[in-house]
Amino acid sequence: MLRRLFAWLFGRTPKPGRRIGVLIVHGIGTREVGYSEAFRKKLKRHLKRKYHLRTPHTISFEEVFWAGATKSLQSEYQLNNIVYHPQLEQNHIRRFVIESLADAAAFQNIPYGLKNGGETMYERIKRSIAVSIGNLYARVGPDAPLLVIAHSFGGWMMSCYIDDLRRQAADKRKRGQPLTQKEAFESFDTLGGVVTIGCNIPAFVFCMDPGSVDPVDLPGRQLARLERTPDKNGERRCWLNFYSPWDPLGYPLRTINKAYDDTVQDICLKIRPTWPLDFTTPHLGYWTHKAVIQETSALIHDLYEFSDVLHLETGHAISNDEDQAPPQADAAVA
């Protein structure tokens, strides 16, 4: 009884060397730094109350703000003057749609302009993501399991980004060049889970060959063990995808193909519009929904409690053909 009371008041004693890194990525239409503050507070509160886990001793959050890379582009093309024409009826729906389309268009691999050296907007967005991952690495270190939480278009963006980084890492390994601990972390070798909310990946892959579309591979190559506590339906998936039937930008993912069906747990939420043409409430309502907070917290807890990460010495890298058999006891982080 006293131990439980102490844990409730002060949190559990952190495991030596154990930390969890949580990367939060916004979607279309987000315009301000700190967009995830309320969401993080809810997660922290639930983690403390249910699992007696406190931050920052055990869990470190880092938000990605990639919209800063697109703001200047949208300003230069003068969206306010060109799109918001005085003869067009202006309302929040038009603004949301236009800004959403602008973000999606900016992500395409098109040169931004000669004055920027032909740099693509995708490269600028990638740099924003890389900075946030670097910040997270500096706090949690190379042996921390990583969780990615992505809203809306951020799900497709991170799917592309993780795939790109892992391809680059694989090419480097093939050339016999070892990855540093930081490079392995930044290549998502310790990725243990993904949470997508209002995800629209199906909107970007519908014209592709279903067999050529692969989900993010879980767990990462550096995770030697990862177990999930079954939920009320007996599911143990490490990719949770939340969607609402009233959200036109959020979709189930398991129907994409068998690979997604084997990887993702789709969770339908009844986030209803407040009026007939309101689709922003369902699309933004995930951030505060009780089920999202509870299930995400459970995944964070399992990453903390039931995962082992292979410790890599500086300069060492797991080869491309090395299997992921559980290591000896002295090679795993407790």
pLDDT score recorded for residue 226: 84
Q: Of the given ranges (50-54, 176-180, 182-186, 310-314), which has the lowest mean pLDDT? A: 310-314
The CA–CA distances, whole Å, from 197 to 16, 79, 131 equal 32, 27, 23
Domain spanning 2-65+120-313, CATH architecture: 3-Layer(aba) Sandwich (3.40)
Confidence at residue 12, expressed as pLDDT on a 0 to 100 scale? 52
Q: Is the pLDDT of residue 50 over 80?
A: yes
Q: Where are the domains of the chain?
A: 2-65+120-313
**Widest pairwise Cα distance in the chain:** 70
Provide mean pLDDT across the span 270-284: 89
The CA distance from 34 to 324, in Å, is: 37
Helix ranges (H only) for the chain are 2-10, 37-51, 67-76, 79-82, 92-106, 121-140, 153-174, 181-186, 201-205, 258-263, 280-284, 290-305
What DSSP line would sit under 310-328, residue for residue? B---TT----TT-------
Class of residue 141 by CB neighbours under 10 A (exposed 0-12, middle 13-18, buried 19+)? middle
- Kindly state the average pLDDT of the residues 104-116: 55
Q: Which of 72-81, 118-127, 302-311 has the highest mean pLDDT?
A: 302-311
Instruction: Give the residue-averaged pLDDT of 289-304.
Output: 96
82 has a pLDDT exceeding 70: no
Give the mean pLDDT of 100-129. 66
Q: How does the average pLDDT of the chain come out, rounded?
A: 81
- Under the banding of pLDDT at 50, 70 and 90, the label for residue 303 is very high
Model confidence at 328, pLDDT cuts 50, 70, 90, reads very low
Residue 285 has pLDDT above 60, yes or no: yes
Give per-residue pLDDT as tens, 23-33: 999 987 666 89
Q: Residue 324: pLDDT band by 50, 70, 90 thresholds?
A: very low
- Which of the four pLDDT bands, split at 50, 70 and 90, describes residue 62? very high
- pLDDT confidence bin for 109, thresholds 50/70/90: low
pLDDT, average across residues 79-90: 58
pLDDT band at 13; cut points 50, 70, 90:
low
- Tell me which of 72 and 211 has the higher pLDDT: 211
For 171-194, write each residue's pLDDT tens digit: 999 999 989 999 999 999 999 999
Backbone angles phi, psi at 217, to 5 degrees: -75, 125
Strands, sheet with 264-268, edge to edge from the N-terminal-most edge strand? 59-64, 20-25, 146-151, 191-197, 239-243, 264-268
Long-range contacts of 163-168 (CB under 8 A, 24+ apart): 163/214, 163/216, 164/126, 166/217
Is the predicted pLDDT of residue 70 greater than 70, yes or no? no
